Structure 1
Amino acid sequence: MHFDLSKPNLLMGGIVLTLAALAGLELAPQRTLELTAPGAVGNLYLSTPGETPGQAPVQWVDAEHLRWRCHYTAAANYQPCGLTFSLTGDDPAHGMDLSRFDTLEMDLAYKGPAHFVRVAVRNFDPRFSRLDDGNSSRIHSVNLRPRDIARPVTLDLSELTVPEWWIQQFDLPREYNRPSLENATALSIDLPSDLTGQEHELQLRRLVLKGEWVSRDRVYLAILCAWLLGASLMVLRGWKQLSQSNTRQQREIDALTARTRQLRVEQDKLRRLATIDELTGVLNRRGLEQALDDFEEAAQGMTLVMLDIDHFKHVNDRHGHDCGDEVLKRVTAVVAANLRASDVFGRLGGEEFLIACQGTRVRDAARLAEKLRERVQQSEINSSAGRITVTASFGVALAPPGAPAAGALKRADEALYRAKEAGRNRVETDKSLVSDSPTTV
């Protein structure tokens, strides 16, 4: 008994089965977990600062409908304002496998002045997590602007990343810092900012995890394998007659595969080059422009710090471009390590970089620039030529609320030029700023 795939009925049957499998994949219901449904999780609770005298700063407005309010009247180091879903049972070290889900649908109403609402997932990893230290569970988070959640939003779980502060705090081997949601113990929604003197009100109407029951990749692979098996049977039956043609076709398939692989590599490279500087790993000019556009849309003003590595051409001429690249990467690392998560940092080009801080506190920006100047001066770069010490000059300017960033960029560049002219390794501030203006202090 043998199968003749050249018969029209067998070929048509294979096509029908393939279409049925693809249709079933599209029409099959998704795997869902509605966390806001009664009994979906073992426990949910408000994040509070613990024992507080008088009225608690975090309170339920309507617990049944998951509506709460936060109001901190005094400054504090720890100001939680969020709702946490516990994903564990009797064993606090054993949670849910969220890697089976692809998206998180959220309907959240928010009133307040916060710049971001954070969605975070804690993952307990027995290699380094401890039950007596909640922060030791790897955190994955994404910050959403209020306009992002003005209507129900769908998040890809791949948007959740491990924040820099967690990586720096625990200083674990690099492989431990990779995102993993296989043992998620908690999912929270909170406000990651200073809440002193502000009133915030949130209501979580719906929170649903969704994913596929059967992986699309596996279905496609099974279909591909089935067709390859059929094609192999056909090839085996006519091998003697079609050997020459089959060899030519195989060469074409190999060439197409190699070309496809090459195109994917080029596509990935172009996608990265679109917004990321390949050498330093920070934003490039295009990425900076997009970030400044976002700041302008927020209409809350920004301070810009432009820095330039002093005598960088001399480093290249004397020690070579490889050493120059190491200087660029080292200065980038030093600056990035001393910035907040909300600050934007990127390379304008050459040895020139830009930092954008949301807000209009010019004195704070000038102090940050002075701090960075000292850190750069104190750093040393190891190269084949030995240890090299470099310095940097800084220019600080302000873009008031509603003003375009282009003017502030020009003024920051002029301030940077004055720092260079005054002997380098110094910080200069835009001279057009009014010293007694409330936006500059």
Structure 2
Amino acid sequence: MRHDLSNTHLLIGGIVLTLAVLAGQELLPTRKLELTAPGAVSNLFLQTSSDNQAAVQWIDAEHFRWKCHYTGFDKYQPCGLTFILSGDDPARGRDLGRFDTLEMDLRYKGPSSYIRLSIRNFDPRFSKLEDANSARMHSVNLRPRDIEKPVSIELSELTVPEWWIQQFNLSREYNRPGLQNATALTIDLPSDLTGQVHELELRSLVLNGEWISRDRVYLAILCGWLLGATLMVTRGWSQLRQSHNRQQREIDALTVRTSQLRIEQEKLRRLATIDELTGVLNRRGLEQSLEDFEAAAQGMTLVILDIDHFKHVNDRHGHDCGDEVLRRIAAVVAGNLRASDVFGRWGGEEFLIACQGTRIRDAARLAEKLRERVQQSNIDSAGGRVAVTASFGVALAPPGGSTADALKRADAALYRAKDAGRNRVEMDRTLQSEAPTTV
């Protein structure tokens, strides 16, 4: 949540900053260069023929008014006003590439079809000081009706004239427009002036541009957003990595804790299924094993043994001796079983053995063997040696049969062994069929 709020604040800040930059771009004053202002240019002069200099004269130099009148035919009949944009170094002019438009207020009276505006750009790659015409020319022709009122000319309207390209025959890259080193700006009449009178008055000539171009502003905004996006992505990636590492540590800790819980759960499970006194399965553990055997549907034989006269042992020798008898009997029986057999304390002095897939007569022989081992296990107590015997009941739970029913029949067989004098083995009489296989 904090990360999302931080990103939202950064996004809002970026939007506000962008709007402020755009508004600042609009509110910045326009870059201006008024060429008709006193001292704006290093020099200016009227263009005229060297053979007939009187053909072009000032009417009012202070207000930039002049007239042209060629009475005879001259091969070259210039009639114009030139502003020198260079300083002491004639090869170093002004960078007009920073300007976009030129506002001109020019009054013209005469029969010329066009008034030409031209700018010379000195390019040291091919321009020569001794040849003023070698500076690349850019021009646009205006009709008299175009300048009936002040006109704004886009500098992009100025193009390199075809005659200049043909005259100097340069490579294409040299013929591309460019005003980065403008040395002269001229207003003249590009037509035959013989016998005509032309009057011109330049009231204002102002170059306009932006202090910072829109393209640069937009590029800066784009770069700013890209930088901001990069920082946000980097920051987000760093936070995501930190979060991932933190979560990984939590997962590792949880894995360790889960492992510990499994160990503890296994301990609890063992405690829940192991008889604390004898160390063998308790009734719950036996019931779970019987359920597994029944689910396997392979059949099993059940053997229930009960220690004879156990109450008498407790009453005569004490409960400590009784507990020792239980432990000893459990150890004797467990030591004579297979690993696949299940053995546990069914309750009190009763124990249960489950042999999966065993024939009932084999189980009866096992019970007889265990009866002999129990009878041979005399236990020492404070009151002397204690003779212990046990009675056994054996029943078969065939494949798919009920374990609960087999337990009842094994218990019934056990009671018959008790009634018949104890210390003996009795088989179930109601189901004498054998299990089909032996494991």
TM-score under structure 2 length normalisation: 0.52
Which residue identity lines up with residue 197 of structure 2 in the other structure? E
**Matches of 1:71 and 1:14 in 2, distance apart?**
64
Secondary structure of the corresponding residue to residue 163 of structure 2: helix
1:11 counterpart = 2:16: no
1:136 counterpart = 2:134: yes
Q: How far does residue 233 in structure 1 lie from its aligned partner after superposition?
A: 3.4
Q: Is the 8 A contact 2:116 2:142 kept in 1?
A: yes
Quote the residue 1:298 is aligned against.
none
Which residue identity lines up with residue 192 of structure 1 in the other structure? P
Quote the residue 1:38 is aligned against.
38
Question: In the alignment, which of 156, 159, 175 is matched to residue 157 of structure 2?
Answer: 159
State the aligned residue count. 240
Equivalences for residues 336-351 of structure 1 within 5 A:
none
CA shift in 2, pair 1:3/1:72, >3 Å: farther
Which residue identity lines up with residue 170 of structure 2 in the other structure? L
Q: Is the 8 A contact 1:6 1:234 kept in 2?
A: no
Q: How far does residue 28 in structure 1 lie from its aligned partner after superposition?
A: 0.2
Deviations 1:235-256 (A, max 9, x none): 34555999xxxxxxxxxxxxxx
Quote the residue 2:112 is aligned against.
114
Which residue identity lines up with residue 127 of structure 2 in the other structure? S
**Matches of 1:217 and 1:46 in 2, distance apart?**
38
Quote the residue 2:410 is aligned against.
none
CA shift in 2, pair 1:240/1:88, >3 Å: closer
Q: How far does residue 135 in structure 1 lie from its aligned partner after superposition?
A: 1.0
Q: Is the 8 A contact 2:140 2:159 kept in 1?
A: yes
Q: How far does residue 4 in structure 1 lie from its aligned partner after superposition?
A: 5.9
**Matches of 1:85 and 1:100 in 2, distance apart?**
18
Q: How far does residue 45 in structure 1 lie from its aligned partner after superposition?
A: 0.7
Q: How far does residue 144 in structure 1 lie from its aligned partner after superposition?
A: 0.5
Secondary structure of the corresponding residue to residue 230 of structure 2: helix
Which residue identity lines up with residue 185 of structure 2 in the other structure? L
Quote the residue 2:49 is aligned against.
49
Which residue identity lines up with residue 203 of structure 1 in the other structure? E
Q: Is the 8 A contact 1:5 1:11 kept in 2?
A: no
CA shift in 2, pair 1:3/1:159, >3 Å: farther
1:27 counterpart = 2:27: yes
Q: How far does residue 89 in structure 1 lie from its aligned partner after superposition?
A: 1.2
CA shift in 2, pair 1:69/1:82, >3 Å: same
Quote the residue 1:222 is aligned against.
220
**Matches of 2:124 and 2:33 in 1, distance apart?**
25
Unaligned runs of 5+ in 2: 241-439
Which residue identity lines up with residue 36 of structure 1 in the other structure? T
Secondary structure of the corresponding residue to residue 99 of structure 1: helix
Which residue identity lines up with residue 151 of structure 1 in the other structure? K
Quote the residue 1:207 is aligned against.
205
Task: Provide the identity percentage.
Answer: 73
Q: Is the 8 A contact 2:121 2:179 kept in 1?
A: yes
Secondary structure of the corresponding residue to residue 135 of structure 1: helix
Secondary structure of the corresponding residue to residue 175 of structure 1: helix
Q: How far does residue 10 in structure 1 lie from its aligned partner after superposition?
A: 3.2
**Matches of 2:189 and 2:48 in 1, distance apart?**
12
Q: How far does residue 155 in structure 1 lie from its aligned partner after superposition?
A: 0.8
Deviations 1:184-206 (A, max 9, x none): 11000000000111111000000
CA shift in 2, pair 1:12/1:106, >3 Å: same
Q: Is the 8 A contact 1:5 1:230 kept in 2?
A: no
Deviations 1:361-415 (A, max 9, x none): xxxxxxxxxxxxxxxxxxxxxxxxxxxxxxxxxxxxxxxxxxxxxxxxxxxxxxx
**Matches of 1:120 and 1:43 in 2, distance apart?**
17
Q: Is the 8 A contact 2:69 2:194 kept in 1?
A: yes
Unaligned runs of 5+ in 1: 243-441
Q: How far does residue 8 in structure 1 lie from its aligned partner after superposition?
A: 4.0
**Matches of 2:139 and 2:3 in 1, distance apart?**
54
Deviations 1:201-227 (A, max 9, x none): 000000011111112112112212222
Quote the residue 1:321 is aligned against.
none
CA shift in 2, pair 1:231/1:117, >3 Å: same
Secondary structure of the corresponding residue to residue 203 of structure 2: strand
**Matches of 2:207 and 2:198 in 1, distance apart?**
26
Quote the residue 2:333 is aligned against.
none
Q: How far does residue 15 in structure 1 lie from its aligned partner after superposition?
A: 1.8
RMSD of the alignment, in Å? Answer: 2.3
Secondary structure of the corresponding residue to residue 153 of structure 2: strand
**Matches of 2:209 and 2:182 in 1, distance apart?**
16
Q: Is the 8 A contact 1:5 1:234 kept in 2?
A: no
Q: How far does residue 73 in structure 1 lie from its aligned partner after superposition?
A: 1.1
Quote the residue 2:92 is aligned against.
94
CA shift in 2, pair 1:9/1:238, >3 Å: closer
CA shift in 2, pair 1:240/1:42, >3 Å: closer
Quote the residue 2:328 is aligned against.
none
Q: Is the 8 A contact 2:7 2:232 kept in 1?
A: no
**Matches of 1:59 and 1:231 in 2, distance apart?**
64
Deviations 1:72-111 (A, max 9, x none): 1111110000000001111111111111111111000001
Which residue identity lines up with residue 44 of structure 2 in the other structure? L
Which residue identity lines up with residue 19 of structure 1 in the other structure? L
Task: Say which one has the larger Rg.
Answer: 2
Secondary structure of the corresponding residue to residue 116 of structure 2: strand
Quote the residue 1:411 is aligned against.
none
1:172 counterpart = 2:170: yes
Secondary structure of the corresponding residue to residue 113 of structure 2: coil
Q: How far does residue 230 in structure 1 lie from its aligned partner after superposition?
A: 2.5
Quote the residue 1:103 is aligned against.
101
Quote the residue 2:182 is aligned against.
184
CA shift in 2, pair 1:59/1:14, >3 Å: same
**Matches of 1:170 and 1:14 in 2, distance apart?**
52
**Matches of 1:13 and 1:236 in 2, distance apart?**
18
CA shift in 2, pair 1:31/1:117, >3 Å: same
Deviations 1:11-37 (A, max 9, x none): 322222111110000110111110000
Q: How far does residue 232 in structure 1 lie from its aligned partner after superposition?
A: 2.9
**Matches of 2:233 and 2:134 in 1, distance apart?**
57
Q: Is the 8 A contact 1:65 1:204 kept in 2?
A: yes
Which residue identity lines up with residue 29 of structure 1 in the other structure? P
Secondary structure of the corresponding residue to residue 192 of structure 1: coil
Question: In the alignment, which of 104, 123, 126 is matched to residue 125 of structure 1?
Answer: 123
